[in-house]
Amino acid sequence: MLDGMGWNPSSGRSAINQMLGRLERGGLVFSTEVEFESPDGAIIRDRNWVLTRRGFEVWCRYYDFAAAITEQFGDTRRERADLDFVALDDAPPRTKREPKVERAPTRQEQQQILEAAGKDFQRVYEFAILVNARPVDLINARIESVDLDRWSLRLEAVAASGRPIEERDIDIPPKARDILVSAISGRTSGVIFLRGNKTPWTVETMSQAFRRLRQKLGLDPEIALSGRGGHLAPPVEKSRSTLWED
């Protein structure tokens, strides 16, 4: 079945969503977008799916609703089965989401964010600015991926969706080195940047911290913290100096 849909595991889209999308294009189901906030403050977007009248009729050809309703409710009325679905006579056209407008903060806005941020977010945000990287790209940067001979850091080689991307080495300028040493704080392995509770950042927690700062400062809501969380960065396969090793 998946082969018939042309589904690819590396597409970043689930097989069920691929199937439901095809059913919607055929007029068998109808979806609406929903958005809600998780307990940790992350914004979750999903879709609700319902059968159209046509989809309900097609479904009935392959499933004996009368028998199922009788077994469950002792009621053979076909109307009872109808009530189990939101069956639309004519599915309204699916509306496209308006493209989200986003922009990077200006230098002045970056400075405002740095001054208002807590130490843990300030550290990773300022380091990102100094090395010209996106803050979310640094979530999984590891101590083992720092090359002290060249003062460079290798970022992750796999995107969050599992899609391979090119490994990237970024230079660490002098102003960023003190931040790096402070973030590592005597550790010899693991992710470089930790939150105040000593747990790693995630895309959700970093985005949430950024949104709260943006709201607190009354900044333009179009200012975005873009980036990519991925797998752990690979260690650099070469000799390194021992700045934070005993």
CA dist 101 and 193 (Å) reads: 29
Q: Closest by alpha carbon to 143, among 113, 173, 96, 186?
A: 186
More confident residue, 41 or 50: 50
d(C-alpha 104, C-alpha 106), whole Å: 7
State the residue for tokens 């940790």.
40
Instruction: Give residue 83's pLDDT.
Output: 46
193-231 burial code (b ≥16 CB/10 A, e <16):
bbbeeeeebbbebbbbbbbebbeeeebeeebbbebbbbe
Quick one: pLDDT at residue 57?
77
Residues of the chain with CATH 1.10.443.10: 107-217
Distance (Å, rounded) from C-alpha 34 to C-alpha 85? 19
What pLDDT, on a 0 to 100 scale, did the predictor assign at position 41?
Answer: 60
Mean pLDDT, residues 128-144: 89
**Averaged over 111-135, what is the pLDDT?**
93
Whether the pLDDT of residue 19 is over 80: the answer is: no
**Span 97-123, average pLDDT:** 88
Full-prediction pTM beyond 0.85?
no
Which range, of 146-155, 163-172, 190-199, averages the lowest pLDDT?
163-172
- Of the CATH numbers 3.40.190.10, 1.10.600.10, 1.10.443.10, 3.30.70.120, which one belongs to the domain with range 107-217? 1.10.443.10
User: How confident is residue 233, by pLDDT bands cut at 50, 70 and 90?
Assistant: low
Quote the tokens at residue 183: 């973030």
**166-181 tens-digit pLDDT:** 667 889 999 999 999 9
Q: How far is CA 140 from CA 109, 123, 185, 189, in A?
A: 25, 15, 17, 12
Residue 180's pLDDT is what? 95
User: Which run of H or of E encompasses 107?
Assistant: helix 107-116
The per-residue pLDDT for 156 is: 75
Between 65 and 20, the more confident residue is 20
Mean pLDDT of 219-227: 82
As to burial, measured by CB atoms within 10 angstroms (0-12 exposed, 13-18 middle, 19+ buried), residue 135 is buried
Instruction: Indicate the helix (H) or strand (E) that contains 174.
Output: helix 174-184
Which of the four pLDDT bands, split at 50, 70 and 90, describes residue 162? low
pLDDT of residue 76: 46
- Does 80 score more than 80 pLDDT? no
Query: Given this model, what pLDDT does residue 78 score?
Result: 47
Pairwise CA distance, residues 34 & 127, whole Å:
35
Residue 151: CB atoms within 10 Å: 15
Residue 33: what pLDDT?
Answer: 76
